[in-house]
Chain A
Amino acid sequence: MPGGLSWRNVRRRHTAENMNQKAIEPPPSLYAIFMAFALIALISVGGGVSGWMMRDFVTRRRWISSEEFLSGLALAQAFPGINVVNLTIWMGYRFRGNRGVVVATLGLLVPAIAVAIAIVSVFSELSHISSVHYALAGISAAAIGLSLEMGIFAARQSMTGLLPILITIATFVSIFVFGVSLIWVIAIVTPCSIAAAWWHMKKIRGAESDDYPAA
């Protein structure tokens, strides 16, 4: 099975006080994968789907390490496609190879598509009720909190040295403050960050450590 346990063991990070100190669970069954993704798709009203995924798969079920999750998240954003669908494909493959991809993606989309069709065919007046409107705005605001928590967690995980801290800040400031398009950030900041990681790894290669940078 590609993307199985051995890879996770190699890649596990050893930062103190974080969740991935706990062992990663053995690969889940196809049924468990389907149900887990379906549940996330159905409870994520108001957005924050990837935040739910991190809480569920990294923290609660421990099916994937936070570093694997975060590099998947970055690739999911950098590649064309709906971010959460890309992230689902990433995780599905890590859980159970090709069949994991199919089952995870169907789990995310099929129940959600069914609900979307039900809503559009039955409740077309729903969005006019003002209480529904306000409730949804409030739920969405709270869901932003879910994403913010994930951002803080991701920042803590990656801020292991001066250079990663600067890269995180540069990415944040260029997108949020200066409104630079995501494509430019991906094209300019990412190669710099990768080059820095590459250079650092080459330097410490003899020390038999794959941590970047050394704590």
Chain B
Amino acid sequence: MIILLLDLISVFAPLSLLTIGGGQSIIPAIHSQAVDVHQWMSNAEFIELFALSRLTPGPKTLLVTMIGWHVGGFAAAITASIAIFLPSSVLMYYLVRLWARHERSLLIRAISQGLAPVAAGMVLAGTGTILRAAEGGAWAWAVAIMTTVCLLYTRLSPLLLLALGGVVFVVARP
């Protein structure tokens, strides 16, 4: 069991620091480690867990928690979660502290303001990329754009809009 927990840490802790641009970027690496290198599960089982992780609320990287559960129960699920979330969190924590300490300096203010237009471009491009890969093709575009319009111009609850999106897909089965 201890060996297994150490294995989980040795796989997920480095991946934590390699996650740049969102959890999606390490999915292929997780797949090869879990299926090919450590043979914790078959390819079909991995795809099953991946589908389940999409059902789960919160960060999609909870796939790692599920892999932990699959290979070693509760202790492994917690160990894998800590391994994937903790290292990058510590790094980010020190960045945030450094930031707060020099928040009034010209450099930090310039970085802050210079980042804003880049963030806008990244959010829009990330959204477009997800939309392009979304299941349901034109239906997904229609639901996403209608949701955006409603959010911008009405006071409808986002939860209601998410539920409506689900209903549209269940009825239309695109």
A residues at B contact (CB < 8 Å): 2-3, 7, 10-11, 41-47, 49-50, 52, 55, 67, 70-71, 73-86, 89-90, 93-94, 101, 105, 108-109, 111-113, 115-117, 119-121, 123-124, 126-127, 130-152, 154-155, 157-159, 164-165, 167-172, 174-176, 182-183, 185-186, 189-190, 193-198, 201-202, 205, 210, 212
Q: Check if B121 is an interface residue, CB within 8 A of chain A.
A: yes
The closest CB in chain B to the CB of A183 belongs to B20
A176:B125 contact, CB within 8 angstroms: yes
- Range of interface residues on B (Cβ < 8 Å): 35 or more
Given A176-B125, A183-B20: A135 and B169 interface contact (C-beta under 8 Å): yes
Q: Which residues of A contact B1 (CB under 8 A)?
A: none
Q: Which residues of A contact B95 (CB under 8 A)?
A: 75, 79
- Describe B's contact surface by its main secondary structure: helix
Select one of A3, A10, A73, A123 contacting B119, CB under 8 A: A73
Given A144-B131, A146-B147, A176-B128: A138 and B168 interface contact (C-beta under 8 Å): yes
B54:A136 contact, CB within 8 angstroms: yes
A147:B126 contact, CB within 8 angstroms: yes
Contact with A along B43-87 (1 / 0, CB 8 A): 000001101111111111110011001100010011001001100
Q: Which residues of B contact A167 (CB under 8 A)?
A: 117-118, 121
Q: Which residues of A contact B52 (CB under 8 A)?
A: 119-120, 123-124, 126-127
